């Protein structure tokens, strides 16, 4: 099983590309209906439908078990052996909308979890012997399931001991530091620290099982449905109603509610963060650490939420803009208050584009950070990535910048339309991306607006986690020779488009409540030069290594990716003859060729790769700490990278000052961002490239170096 990594995904929109006839429910069971609907949508709508045969069945079988118990901490080998009769029958079960396998495996999983909850406290009653020579292996994928329940107890004993060893080592280090700072301090004994370790771990495990208990049958059934969906490709998936809500929030960067993040611990719902600008923040009554005891709607009896599932509490609290909700709050000081809150649209500022002015050698440059290509699909005219980028470009032009860096690092994608609109800000007009849909129909998406928002030097920063929409924009600007792409050897390599199909709209006569949605791959996109970014990604003009350079992180390292291919190129003209473009790339490669920091980053990347492959840890204290010391010693070689300062000067745009200074949280977030940029070697080289591009325009001698 290959590693899986989560990313925001490129979407074409909610409708349009797929049309289904309404399906009338045939089965009395909601679970059976869901299997029927998902199979129907995938077979009719997927870009490259999978053959639902015995091989498909085996892959679903393995993926589902991995999703349920990937660490082999609950099932035993006898359970797996009993399940094997379904290994090559799930294709038939899917076609017949049967869920016998899920029912059997779910019941057994619940039984095993109850057994583990019953025996784990006893494992923490007896002191751990940290002098004993034994190891714990994190390579769960290649480990067998426990042969018996007694062997499963030993698996858990080692797992708990490994966690305990980390806690114990930390406590000992704290005691040692206290003694160093105050020689009169009496250090706690090893026995006392070991007992304290088990008490901490006991609380952690209670929290672990509390979170497990919060999951219901529907949550586990979603794992099964997704094991089916993911056989089509890595980005096709089933979204249960709660997951659909989170998806909408992530893709739009906003939601309707009270503006607070919640968590559950010891059966209580706690406020862990107040979102700046939201109703709770404006009310100045509720603060982090407060606990919600009851929730009431207007003219309704309050609902006691202690012990309730977190998702269910969130459903009670969220609601349309302008409506009221009443929270009974237990304050940190123990007092009880009822707080009326008027719900509003909450915008998560960290999800939106932001910019800064950079000064170097008495020149001004701009940097725009875009975390994702966000959009509200129900209202494209509202705030989205394209309109925000246009605003940032206008503000930077007014600030007199001479070049712009567009930072798409870690940007996993989002809306296709925003990419097309955004590309148009940097070119006169022309094709941006080619899209081939289910059935083979090809469409060229173009910028038809001859207006240009920014015609100056442009650098796009990418890394291995720049995916989908990020790759479309970077590829288009690269093909036009409009921007220099600087970053990892290649981007993520996701060249597919997904549509979100609301299952509630696929059927008639639904009496089962919200069925959720299916995110299904319906298209592949291609560069205007005809090549796909699928698997291959976008290869940077200037390759700058990072710590993830040797780790499997891309589309090619996921399960069931669609293949790479190419189509005929679109007709387009490059931005210029490429003289500036090629010269800036040449100059950068000369700077980076033998730069000590670049070599050190590459060495760090190789070291990170070796650590990832090291899955065994000793449960002996002396050996464990010796390995830690060796790791610390090796990592010290790379401490110089953490101390790097690029010497650039950063300042916010005048138009942004009021928003930044609205509260201490916003001020601190801005300070941390600019501090991180000041230690960013990639930003430094991006500015050097802009200087080269800008100097060549002025026909001046190029001089630039990384500080």
Active site (catalytic) residues:
468, 479, 494
Is beta strand 430-437 parallel, antiparallel or unpaired with respect to 404-407?
unpaired
Residue 581, phi then psi, degrees to nearest 5: -55, -50
358: which strand partners? Answer: 365, 650
Instruction: Report how far Cα 648 is from the mean position of its chain's Cα atoms.
Output: 29
CA 87 – CA 107 distance, rounded (Å): 18
Let me know: does 74 contact 153? Beta carbons within 8 Å.
no
CA 155 – CA 635 distance, rounded (Å): 31
Pick from 588, 605, 386, 373: nearest CA to 486: 588
Tokens 């990347």 belong to residue = 605
Let me know: does 441 contact 36? Beta carbons within 8 Å.
no
CA 251 – CA 191 distance, rounded (Å): 51
Let me know: does 201 contact 208? Beta carbons within 8 Å.
no
For 218, 444, 597, 676, the CA distances from 645, given in Å and listed in that order, are 50, 44, 12, 9
CA 519 – CA 14 distance, rounded (Å): 10
Tokens 């000590």 belong to residue = 596
Instruction: Report how far Cα 63 is from the mean position of its chain's Cα atoms.
Output: 20
354: which strand partners? Answer: 369
Local structure of 233: helix, strand or coil: coil
Let me know: does 57 contact 87? Beta carbons within 8 Å.
yes
Residue 259, phi-psi category: left (phi > 0), alpha (psi -120 to 50), beta (remainder): left
Stretch (H or E) spanning 404: strand 404-407
324: which strand partners? Answer: 342
- Polymer length in residues for the chain: 707
| Residue environment code for 642-680, b if the CB has 16+ CB neighbours within 10 A, otherwise e | eebebebebebbeeeeeebeeeeeeeebbeebbeebbeb
CA 37 – CA 312 distance, rounded (Å): 25
Pick from 275, 464, 272, 458: nearest CA to 351: 275
Local structure of 566: helix, strand or coil: strand
Residues 326, 328, 334, CA angle at the centre, nearest 5°? 155
Q: Give, rounded to a whole angstrom, the gap between the first and last alpha carbons of the chain.
A: 43
Burial class for 474, CB neighbours closer than 10 Å (0-12, 13-18, 19+) = buried
For every residue of 423-477, DSSP letters joined together read HTTTSSSEEEEEEEETTS-EEEEEE-----S--S-EEEEE-TT--THHHHHHHHH
Local structure of 399: helix, strand or coil: coil
For 125, 278, 331, 645, 683, the CA distances from 667, given in Å and listed in that order, are 47, 16, 26, 21, 22
Residue 418, phi then psi, degrees to nearest 5: -65, -30
CA 514 – CA 243 distance, rounded (Å): 12
């Amino acid at each position: 099983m290959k590693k899986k990594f989560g990313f925001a995904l490129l979407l074409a929109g909610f409708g349009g590309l797929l049309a289904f006839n309404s399906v009338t429910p045939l089965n009395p069971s909601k679970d059976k209906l869901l299997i029927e609907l998902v199979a129907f949508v995938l077979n009719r709508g997927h870009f490259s439908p999978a053959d639902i045969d015995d091989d498909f069945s085996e892959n679903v079988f393995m993926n589902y078990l991995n999703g349920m118990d990937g660490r082999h901490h609950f099932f035993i080998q006898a359970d797996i052996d009993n399940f094997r009769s379904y290994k090559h029958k799930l294709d038939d079960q899917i076609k017949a909308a049967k869920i016998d396998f899920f029912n059997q495996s779910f019941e057994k999983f619940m039984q095993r979890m109850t057994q583990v909850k019953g025996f784990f406290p006893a494992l923490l009653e007896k002191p751990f012997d940290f002098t004993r020579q034994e190891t714990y292996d994190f390579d769960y994928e290649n480990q067998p399931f426990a042969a018996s329940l007694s062997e499963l107890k030993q698996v858990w004993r080692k797992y708990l001991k490994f966690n305990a060893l980390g806690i114990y080592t930390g406590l000992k280090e704290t005691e040692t530091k206290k003694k160093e700072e105050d020689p009169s301090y009496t250090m706690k004994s090893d026995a006392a620290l070991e007992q304290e370790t088990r008490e901490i771990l006991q609380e952690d495990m209670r929290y672990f099982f509390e979170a497990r208990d919060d999951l219901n049958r529907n949550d586990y059934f979603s794992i099964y449905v997704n094991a089916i969906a993911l056989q089509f490709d890595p980005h096709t998936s089933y979204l249960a109603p709660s997951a659909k809500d989170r998806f909408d929030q992530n893709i739009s960067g906003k939601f309707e509610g009270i503006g607070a993040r919640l968590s559950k611990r010891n059966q209580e719902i706690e406020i862990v963060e107040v979102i700046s600008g939201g109703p709770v923040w404006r009310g100045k009554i509720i603060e982090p650490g407060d606990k919600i005891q009851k929730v009431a709607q207007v003219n309704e009896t309050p609902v006691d939420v202690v012990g309730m599932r977190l998702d269910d509490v969130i459903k009670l609290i969220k609601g349309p803009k302008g409506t009221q909700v009443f929270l009974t709050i237990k304050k940190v000081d123990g007092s009880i208050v009822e707080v009326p809150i008027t719900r509003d649209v909450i915008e998560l500022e960290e999800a939106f584009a932001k910019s800064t002015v950079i000064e170097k050698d008495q020149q001004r440059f701009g940097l725009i950070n875009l975390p994702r290509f966000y959009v509200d699909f129900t209202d494209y005219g509202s705030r989205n990535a394209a309109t925000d980028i246009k605003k940032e470009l206008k503000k930077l032009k007014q600030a007199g910048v001479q070049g712009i860096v567009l930072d798409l690092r870690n940007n996993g994608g989002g809306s296709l339309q925003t990419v097309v609109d955004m590309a148009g800000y940097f070119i006169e007009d022309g094709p941006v991306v080619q899209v081939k849909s289910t059935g083979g129909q090809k469409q060229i998406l173009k910028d038809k607006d001859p207006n240009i928002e920014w015609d100056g030097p442009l650098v796009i920063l990418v890394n291995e986690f720049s995916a989908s929409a990020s790759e479309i924009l970077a590829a288009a600007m690269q093909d036009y020779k409009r921007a220099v792409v600087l970053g990892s050897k290649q981007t993520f390599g996701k060249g597919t488009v997904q549509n979100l199909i609301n299952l509630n709209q696929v059927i008639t006569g639904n009496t089962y409540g919200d069925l959720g949605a299916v995110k299904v791959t319906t298209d592949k996109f291609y560069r205007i030069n005809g090549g796909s970014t699928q698997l291959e990604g976008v290869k940077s003009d200037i390759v700058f290594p990072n710590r993830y350079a040797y780790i499997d992180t891309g589309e090619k390292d996921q399960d069931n990716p669609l293949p790479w291919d190419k189509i005929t190129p679109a007709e387009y003209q490059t931005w210029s003859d490429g003289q500036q473009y090629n010269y800036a790339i040449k100059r950068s490669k000369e700077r980076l060729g033998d730069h000590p920091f670049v070599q050190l980053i590459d060495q760090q990347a190789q070291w990170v790769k070796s650590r990832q492959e090291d899955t065994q840890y000793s449960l002996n204290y002396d050996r464990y700490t010796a390995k830690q010391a060796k790791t610390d010693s090796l990592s010290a070689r790379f401490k110089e990278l953490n101390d790097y300062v690029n010497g650039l000067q950063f300042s916010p745009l005048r138009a942004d000052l009021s928003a930044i200074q609205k509260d201490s949280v916003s001020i601190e977030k801005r300070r941390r961002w600019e501090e991180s940029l000041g230690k960013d070697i990639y930003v430094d080289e991006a500015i050097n490239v802009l200087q080269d591009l800008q100097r060549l325009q002025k026909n001046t001698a190029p001089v630039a170096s990384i500080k």
